[in-house]
Amino acid sequence: MESYKIPKKSVERLSIYKRILKVIMDAGFTTVSSRELAERAGLNSAQVRKDLVYFGQFGTPGMGYQVSMLHRAITKIMGLHKKIPVALTGVGNLGQALLAYPGFKERGFIIEAIFDNDHEKVGKKKNGLKILDEKNISSEIKKKKVRVGIIATPPSAAQFAANKLIEGGIKGILNFAPIELKVPSGITVVNVALCEKLEMLSYYLSKRKLL
């Protein structure tokens, strides 16, 4: 299923490198070494090089990497040079924050349809989009050829929303609900483990007192 087994962690770090490269580029530098990238990312420089080499040879010995070229390359590798139509399910507190976040559009994720099951909300507009009834998720996203779904419903409704999204032909899900979604193979789920992170923080704080 995975092509040539590139570690998930490497893919995630690619995103970090891209962000750092942007900062370096905006500061006016044209080249950067793996050592500097590593330092800024809090990593080992060999790891930076290994990560990049999974995707091609971008560096020049003695000089490092062309900042803008590498930034462009990573953008393309990650598929962030093309627009992706997205649907949002659950227009609650978090859903509305996501809707207002310009970072989605900047990365080419265009929110095309938003859904809720609350009849107080359905029909109203948010950020220029009419909130649609969750009953129509699959038909609406088929119509709009949506490829990615965001789940920001309560956990109890998350599997239901996922099923509807998949029925509508979606291929990837960004899941904010604290629940393990069951999806057929071929569907990519990325969990934003917000609650887990919170609890990890609690663990590391409470442990401190024992030391």
Ligand X SMILES: NC(=O)c1ccc[n+]([C@@H]2O[C@H](COP(=O)([O-])OP(=O)(O)OC[C@H]3O[C@@H](n4cnc5c(N)ncnc54)[C@H](O)[C@@H]3O)[C@@H](O)[C@H]2O)c1
> What residue ranges bind ligand X (CB under 6 A)?
89-95, 97-98, 101, 103, 115-118, 134, 152-155, 157, 160-161, 176-178, 194-195
Question: Which segments of the chain does DSSP mark as H helices, in order?
Answer: 8-26, 34-41, 45-53, 67-77, 93-100, 102-106, 137-143, 155-167, 194-208
Please work out, in degrees rounded to the nearest 5, the angle formed at the alpha carbon of residue 79 by the alpha carbons of 76 and 81.
65
Hey, is 126 helix, strand or coil?
strand
What is d(CA 19, CA 163) in angstroms, rounded to the nearest whole number? 33
Between 58 and 181, CB nearer to ligand X: 181
Total residue length of the chain? 211
Least CB distance to DNA at residue 31 (A): 8
Partner that binds at residue 117, options DNA, ligand X, a copy of itself, none, CB closer than 5 to 8 Å by kind? ligand X
Binders of DNA among residues 50 to 79 (CB under 7 A) are 50, 52-53, 57-65
Examine residue 96 and tell whether it contacts DNA (CB under 7 A). Answer: no
| Stretch 22-51: interaction string toward DNA, x if CB under 7 A | -----------xxx-------xxxxx-xx-
Between 126 and 136, CB nearer to a copy of itself: 126
Buried b (16+ CB within 10 A) or exposed e, 138-149: bebbeeeebbbb
Least CB distance to ligand X at residue 145 (A): 20
What is d(CA 48, CA 160) in angstroms, rounded to the nearest whole number? 40
Binders of a copy of itself among residues 10 to 39 (CB under 8 A) are 11-12, 14-16, 18-19
Residues that bind DNA (CB under 7 A): 5, 7-10, 33-35, 43-47, 49-50, 52-53, 57-65
